[in-house]
Amino acid sequence: MTPLLELRDISIQFGGLKAVSNLSLTIEREQIVGLIGPNGAGKTTVFNLITGIYRPTAGGVFFNSENINKKRSYERTWLGIARTFQNIRLFKQLTVAENIIFAMHYNRDIGIFSSMLRLPHFWRERNEVNKKANEYLEYINMLDMRNERAENLPYGRQRELEIVRAIATGAELLLLDEPAAGMNPQETKQLMRFIDKVRNDMHKSVLLIEHDMGLVMGISDKVAVLDYGQKIVEGKPSEVQHNKKVIETYLGKGDDDAES
């Protein structure tokens, strides 16, 4: 089977800075792939290239074997790529349920577009949308919080809600940018189980940027290491952890949060 996502030799330059250089990486269906590297290595830029915020100056981004270089961000969401952000970007003033329902606008399976246009199915679909949103909320044990404003949730729950919001778009591929940032060890463990469960129950693929080594090494099928925009190592967590280059990259930069 062809990979779900394939980055073929992609590069992007900002002025004189090569933020990503000749990067190739594949993500198979139902695979969790870790993307690690020191601060400024180019990890978030890779997400911006996959989601169409930026276009590569060279190389191609392939999704389900299709070159999507020319697709706009919302078209990529339609195709099945969704992300979370390094700094949480929920609609803070909206309720938990509204955050989910808004994301479902992208979900072709649910057909919310016709309801937005007030076609005859409007009322029936509105009920379906609410029902589906509740199912998502039940999945993360947040049904009782459905009418809370997102900003009032505890931090860890906001992070989980952001992941479920990405799932609610109907995405096959989830890009998670440092989902454990700011979490305590207990929340991080819970998050780790949650990501693994999402992959297993919902058959999603995940590209995971994370500085928490326990998390990324604990659930990834493979890990790629970026340094100055280049992939220096790729392999199974056990191989990457003991790789000399990787150890030097982290220790050499005194990057505290990357060592834990």
Token reading at 150: 């997102």
Which listed residue (7, 19, 36, 198) binds ligand ATP by CB under 6 A? Answer: 19
Chain Cα centroid distance, residue 199: 12
Angle at 245 between CA 244 and CA 249, to 5 degrees: 120
Regarding 12 and contact with ligand ATP (CB under 6 A), the answer is no
Regarding 45 and contact with ligand ATP (CB under 6 A), the answer is yes
* Contact range with ligand ATP by CB under 6 A, out of 14-22, 65-73, 92-100, 125-133: 14-22
DSSP per-residue codes, 93-132: TSBHHHHHHHHHTT-TTTTHHHHHTT-TTHHHHHHHHHHH
3-state secondary structure of 63: strand
Which listed residue (34, 37, 52, 56) binds ligand ATP by CB under 6 A? Answer: 37
Instruction: Kindly report the length of the chain.
Output: 260
Residue 53 DSSP one-character state: S
Residues numbered 33 to 52 that lie near Mg ion (CB under 5 A) are 43-44
φ/ψ of 47, rounded to 5, equals -60, -40
Residue 3 touches which of Mg ion, ligand ATP, none (Cβ within 5-8 Å per kind): none
Regarding 208 and contact with ligand ATP (CB under 6 A), the answer is no
Which listed residue (23, 27, 31, 42) binds ligand ATP by CB under 6 A? Answer: 42
Q: Binding mask 85-114 vs ligand ATP (x if CB under 6 A, - otherwise)? A: -x----------------------------
The site for ligand ATP (CB under 6 A) is made up of 14, 17, 19, 37, 39-45, 86
